Amino acid sequence: MNLLLLVIILLLLILYILRGRESEKIIQQLLESVDQKRRFLLKESSAKIQFKSLERLVLSVNTLIDDHATSHSETSGFSNQVEATLSSIQEAVFVLNDEHIIEYANESAERIFNFGREMKSVRLESMVRSRSLLEYLAKFKKSRSAPMDQISIELGGETLWFEASCSKISRSNLGGVRATLLVLHEITRLKQLEVMRTDFVANVSHELRTPLTIIKGFSETLVDDHDSLSDEAKIRFTNKIKNNAERLHLLVEDLLTLSRLESQPDQLDYSVQALDKLMQEVQESYSDRLIKGEQTIKLAFDSEIQPFVFDRYRINQVLDNLVENAFRYASEFTLLELSAELSEDKSYIICKVSDDGPGIPKKSLPHLFERFYRVDKGRSKEKGGTGLGLSILKHIILLHGGVVRAESKVGEGTSIIFSLPYSNSVED
């Protein structure tokens, strides 16, 4: 553009010097060509142009116009490629001026922070509410450099986490003025997994520490005070060691089961099975634990249900876990019912294990399927639970393609309801 401006000035100078009528007409045409960025056509006036010694000037102007058109086309093509690239990436990309006015936002940024609507010419603070982001930008502005950092942004009532990075970019059309390029890469899921992993390690350490401490303490006592201990004390201490070793064994087995279900989701052994027969087996296996005349296990099975596809071993594990929990934590129940029925659209089997025991507080229901969660921590440990049974159950049902939930009222009993896809073909 600066070169074209010089050409215009030169032409005006020539126009002033020559002042001839024909020259003035030719110069005017050249000016129009430069202004419209189109070539000057050499027609019948070429002889006059040669006569006026302007042919070389016209050729130079045409060459400059051609070069400008080529450069503009290449720049536009490159800009379109950059725009398409920025629109396709998942990271939120902003270009900001010194006042944090958004000069550019890619599609991901508009989708994440403004429901897909345009964000140009708006202050960043009015669209993205984050104190840590503003502190990061202030730090970058002060030092002209800032390492990648993790920031949190409140959006839609939840906290999202991002990795933020900044750099300065030049804008050639504004005389070298520099803008800020801000890139936000979402890591919310990674942050959640990090928290879960930390909590899991802390919980496992706590669960392992208790039985190990008991085993260590009683075994040291048996060794150090063996001669002074009575036979009765030795037997009691030995039983304590045995019980806590069994507890450790169950905990390790449950942890391994949970790990396999999470890391190998395709390990389920699907085949066409009869659910009613499986429920009958579970009923029979617990019948000898019932208090005669006071407790009953009842079956309610929809006669329309035909054998369908599921992993018999894993669903047996689910039913065993739920019935065992009833005996362990609601031992005063009078009725325990196992039921199965078709959903209204006949695409799922709705299974339910219900008891009329003491029930579960409402505040505990949302956490019931979390790892190591116990409604009554002290009582659960006395009963020997690992706190992983319902978490394992949830994984098994989810891997089958179903869902699970709990319903309960204090004093009215508890129901665990889960669904299984109703299909008679393994390929489905």
Whether 426 is covered by a domain: the verdict is no
How sure is the predictor about 3, in pLDDT bands with cuts at 50, 70 and 90?
low
Average pLDDT over residues 34-38: 62
Q: Does residue 214 sit in helix, strand or coil?
A: helix
How, if at all, do strands 177-186 and 296-301 pair? unpaired
Banded model confidence at residue 397, pLDDT cuts 50, 70, 90: very high
Same domain? For 61 and 111 the reply is no
Other C-beta atoms within 10 Å of 422: how many? 21
Q: Give the chain's mean pLDDT.
A: 80
Residue 44's pLDDT is: 43
How many whole angstroms from its chain centre is CA 164?
17
Q: Is the predicted pLDDT of residue 50 greater than 50, yes or no?
A: no
Secondary structure (3-state) at 123: strand
Quote the pLDDT of residue 352: 95
Highest mean pLDDT: which range of 188-192, 200-204, 380-384? 188-192
Report if residue 428 sits inside a domain. Answer: no
Q: What is the torsion angle, in degrees rounded to the nearest 10, for the CA atoms of residue 182, residue 186, residue 188 and residue 193?
A: -120
- Name, of 58-72, 96-110, 144-158, 167-181, the range with top average pLDDT: 96-110
8 A C-beta contact, residue 426 and residue 271: yes
Indicate if the pLDDT at residue 80 is higher than 70.
Answer: no
Closest CA to 319 of 360, 280, 372: 280
Q: What is the pLDDT of residue 281?
A: 94
Q: Which comes out higher in pLDDT, residue 16 or 10?
A: 10
- The domain that contains 213 carries what CATH number? 1.10.287.130
Residue 210 is assigned to a structural domain of this protein: yes
67 with 145, same domain: the answer is: no
Question: At CA 232, angle to CA 230 and CA 237, rounded to 5?
Answer: 95
317-342 mean pLDDT = 92
Task: Domain count for the chain, please give it.
Answer: 4
Residue 165 lies in a domain: yes
pLDDT at 267 over 90: no
pLDDT of residue 67: 66
Burial of residue 71, with CB atoms counted within 10 A of its CB: 0-12 exposed, 13-18 middle, 19 or more buried: exposed
Quick one: 290 and 385 in the same domain? yes
Range of the domain at 106: 89-186
- Return the exposure string of 216-228: e unless at least 16 CB atoms fall within 10 Å of the residue's CB, then b: eebeeebeeeeee
Q: Would you place residue 204 in the very low, low, confident or very high pLDDT band (cuts 50, 70, 90)?
A: confident
Q: Tell whether 20 and 142 lie within a shared domain.
A: no
Answer yes or no: is 277 within a domain.
Answer: yes
Rounded to an integer, what distance in angstroms lies between the CA atom of residue 283 and that of residue 353? 11
Q: What is the mean pLDDT of residues 134-139?
A: 89
Nearest to 138, CA basis, from 177, 111, 107, 164: 164
Q: Which of 53, 83, 113 is the last residue of a domain?
A: 83
Q: Please compute the mean of the pLDDT values over residues 258-283 and round it to a whole number.
A: 85
Do 283 and 390 belong to one domain? yes
The answer to whether residues 77 and 152 belong to one domain is no
Question: DSSP code of 39?
Answer: P
Q: Is the pLDDT of residue 193 over 70?
A: yes
pLDDT confidence of residue 75 = 47
CATH number at residue 148: 3.30.450.20
- Residue 52 confidence class, pLDDT cut points 50, 70, 90: very low
Q: Is the confidence at residue 284, as pLDDT, over 90?
A: yes
CB 152 within 8 A of CB 132: yes
The answer to whether residue 427 is domain-embedded is no
pLDDT of residue 252: 84
Judge residue 101's burial from the number of C-beta atoms within 10 Å of its C-beta, 0-12 exposed, 13-18 middle, 19 or more buried.
middle
pTM above 0.85, yes or no: no
Whether residues 45 and 13 share a domain: the answer is yes
The answer to whether residues 275 and 259 belong to one domain is: no
DSSP 413: E
Does the pLDDT value for residue 176 go beyond 60? no
Average pLDDT over residues 240-247: 88
Give the C-alpha separation, 263 to 37, whole Å: 64
Instruction: Calculate the dihedral angle through the C-alpha atoms of 79, 80, 83, 84, rounding to the nearest 10 degrees.
Output: -150
Q: Are residues 245 and 328 in the same domain?
A: no
User: Is a pLDDT exceeding 60 seen at residue 53?
Assistant: no
Are residue 40 and residue 131 in the same domain, yes or no? no
Residues 417 and 281 in one domain: yes
Q: Which two structure tokens, joined as six digits, stand for 114?
A: 């403004």
The yes-or-no verdict on residue 7 having pLDDT over 80 is no
pLDDT at 377 exceeding the cut of 60: no
User: Among 87-91, 118-122, 125-129, 302-306, where is mean pLDDT lowest?
Assistant: 87-91
Look at residue 10 and tell me if it is in a domain.
yes
- Of 247, 263, 279, the domain-final residue: 263
What does the pLDDT read at residue 37?
Answer: 61
pLDDT band at 13 (very low <50, low <70, confident <90, very high): low
Q: Which range, of 12-16, 123-127, 185-189, 372-376, averages the lowest pLDDT?
A: 12-16
Question: Does the pLDDT at position 21 exceed 70?
Answer: no
Other Cβ atoms less than 10 A from the Cβ of 4: the count is: 16
Sign, CA dihedral 160-165-167-171, equals: negative
Give per-residue pLDDT as tens, 257-266. Answer: 887 787 766 6
- Alpha carbon of 320 to those of 70, 261, 316, 358: distances in Å? 76, 17, 6, 20
Residue 101 C-beta-side C-alpha neighbours within 13 Å:
6
pLDDT at 158 over 80: yes
**Domain end among 167, 186, 205:** 186
CATH code, domain with 347: 3.30.565.10
More confident call, 314 vs 373: 314
Q: Is residue 116 part of a domain?
A: yes
The token pair that represents 38 in the structure block: 């189109």
Whether 290 shows a pLDDT value over 70: the answer reads: yes
CA distance linking residue 165 with residue 231, whole number of Å: 70
Q: Mark whether 284 and 388 lie in a shared domain.
A: yes
Q: The tokens 């982001």 sit on which residue?
A: 133
CA dist 15 → 4, 27, 48, 52 (Å): 16, 6, 15, 12
